[in-house]
Amino acid sequence: MRPARPTLLLLTGWLALGLGGALWPALAEAWRGGGLLLAGLLGTDWLAARRPLDLEVERRPPANLAQGAWATVGLTLRNPGKRAYRLAVYDHHPATAEVTGQPAPLRLEPGASARVRYRLRPTRRGEARFGPVEICVRSPLRLWRRYARLPQDQQRRVYPDYAETVKYNLLALDNQLSQLGIRQRQQRGSGLEFHQLRDYREGDSIRRIDWKATARHGKPIARDYQDERDQEVVFLLDCGHRMRTEEDGHSHFDQSLNALLLLAHVALRQGDAVGLHTFGGPRRWLAPRKGTATLNRLLNQLYDLEPTGHGADFTAAVQGLLDRQRKRALLVVLTNIRDEDGDDLVRAVRMASPRHLVMVANLREAMLDRLVAEPVTTVEQSLRYAAAVDLLGRREGVQERLRHGGALPLEATPDQLPSAVVNQYLAIKRSGRL
């Protein structure tokens, strides 16, 4: 229970009257009478405010939350009693979330119910805890504010931001994947599965013509192909200290999760199985599986992962994977490497290459590109430029070594990574290398 603003104003006026009474004795009697009246009002209103509250509350947060995505939380308050309430509602939302629309003022009549909403945006993945709902009730004379907490503890999971995956679904319906930077090339090459025979169409390659079927039907018949299915894609996710690098408010680890989810979604749509192996932190293994439920399994494996302060041991990670993964697969390594990591990573690639096809998706800081692109007019700028060019050159050296070791290296800035890994995957599928 706390005094409201009118109470503070009345007490201030009463104290001012007391000071006047000290100077002018004629005001002393008014001060004493005013004090008795004020004490009576405050006491009566305090007792009225202390009566039991007949209020019920129900919170309805979304079933799942996504990092960085706004969501609406609804609170329903019911008044089964016979008194009206003037109140303000404040929800004890997860501490790692931004909120708008709180506190919400409300008048609740006897027997009525009301619903208030506020918007919430989680800033971190993992478990999110909602605490009690706190209400501030005004006393009948508005002299007191009573605070009460209505138990309503709940837990929700905050998943990686899979907006890119949702966007892919929507754009795929309209055949507009180019808006994501994903290029769709005409199918060609020997690494494709036969799908069906169809009438020859203008623009088809002459190599597609099935001459036996053409002779039987008396008209040109072409073979139709589809990408090979029933292959496996296994992600090797670096959870080491290099992935803690942040740009534009997002860590490289979170950006890698977005790319992983998008590529997993595309691969599952292609009929491939998808698996997961983490290293450099918590060890998690998800054997490759097919079907839409696999994406949910991935989300449940990834939602609470965070990069650690440890270095990544690529050799040990690949050795652990080789012990589990027998069937040939596309291994997608998501990491952020420096030239000093090159020896370990090249060894790991050479271990895996005889049995698997390895794609190394390496994150590059966008700041390096900006430093190289900005004009050089001062000594300080020239030093930054030289340092950026040197670092990029050393990274390119690592890429070249990986290429000679049998890997398919890929380097991209965080915002380019999702579309870059999907483009590389689709190119691999159509080339028949897997």
- Residue 433 confidence class, pLDDT cut points 50, 70, 90: confident
Task: Supply the mean pLDDT for the chain.
Answer: 85
Residue type, 330: L
Indicate if the pLDDT at residue 227 is higher than 70.
no
Q: What is the mean pLDDT of residues 131-140?
A: 90
Residue type, 62: P
Q: What is the mean pLDDT of residues 408-433?
A: 88
**Is residue 43 left, alpha or beta, with left meaning phi > 0 and alpha meaning psi from -120 to 50?**
alpha
Give the model's pLDDT for residue 196.
66
Residue type, 193: E
**CA dist., res. 390 & res. 388, Å (int):** 5
Q: What is the pLDDT of residues 291-321, one digit of tens each?
A: 989 999 999 999 999 999 888 899 999 999 9
Q: What is the mean pLDDT of residues 61-76?
A: 91
H-helix or E-strand containing 426? helix 417-431
Give the model's pLDDT for residue 15.
87
Give the model's pLDDT for residue 187.
45
Give the model's pLDDT for residue 50.
84
Residue type, 7: T
Q: What are phi and psi of 301, to 5 degrees?
A: -80, -25
Task: Quote the strand ranges of 139-176, DSSP E.
Answer: 144-150, 154-159
Contacts of 364 (CB under 8 A, 6+ apart): 392, 395, 411, 412, 413
> In this structure, how many other beta carbons lie within 10 angstroms of the beta carbon of residue 224?
14
**CA dist., res. 309 & res. 243, Å (int):** 9
The percent of residues above 90 in pLDDT, for the chain, comes to 36
Q: Cis (ω within 30 of 0) for the bond into 220? A: no
More confident residue, 369 or 323: 323
Indicate if the pLDDT at residue 189 is higher than 50.
no
Q: What is the mean pLDDT of residues 392-401?
A: 87
The percent of residues above 70 in pLDDT, for the chain, comes to 90
Cβ contact 67:124 at 8 Å: yes
Q: What is the pLDDT of residues 90-124, one digit of tens each?
A: 999 999 899 998 888 888 899 899 999 999 999 88
**CA dist., res. 236 & res. 276, Å (int):** 6
Pair type for strands 246-247 and 357-363? unpaired
Which ranges of 218-292 would DSSP assign to H, the alpha helix?
252-269
314: three-class secondary structure by DSSP? helix
Indicate if the pLDDT at residue 194 is higher than 60.
no
Give the model's pLDDT for residue 115.
92
CA 424 remoteness from chain centre = 23
Give the model's pLDDT for residue 168.
65
**CA dist., res. 94 & res. 67, Å (int):** 12
**CA dist., res. 146 & res. 46, Å (int):** 9
Q: What is the pLDDT of residues 326-380, one digit of tens each?
A: 899 999 999 998 878 888 999 999 999 999 999 999 998 888 888 888 888 888 8
Give the model's pLDDT for residue 226.
53
**Closest CA relative to residue 104, chosen from 122, 117, 114:** 117
Minimum mean pLDDT among 68-72, 77-81, 243-247: which range? 243-247
Residues in the chain: 434
Exposed (0-12), middle (13-18) or buried (19+): which is 198, by Cβ within 10 Å?
A: middle
- Residue 191 confidence class, pLDDT cut points 50, 70, 90: very low
For the whole model, what pTM was predicted?
0.75
- Residue 177 confidence class, pLDDT cut points 50, 70, 90: low
**CA dist., res. 388 & res. 276, Å (int):** 33
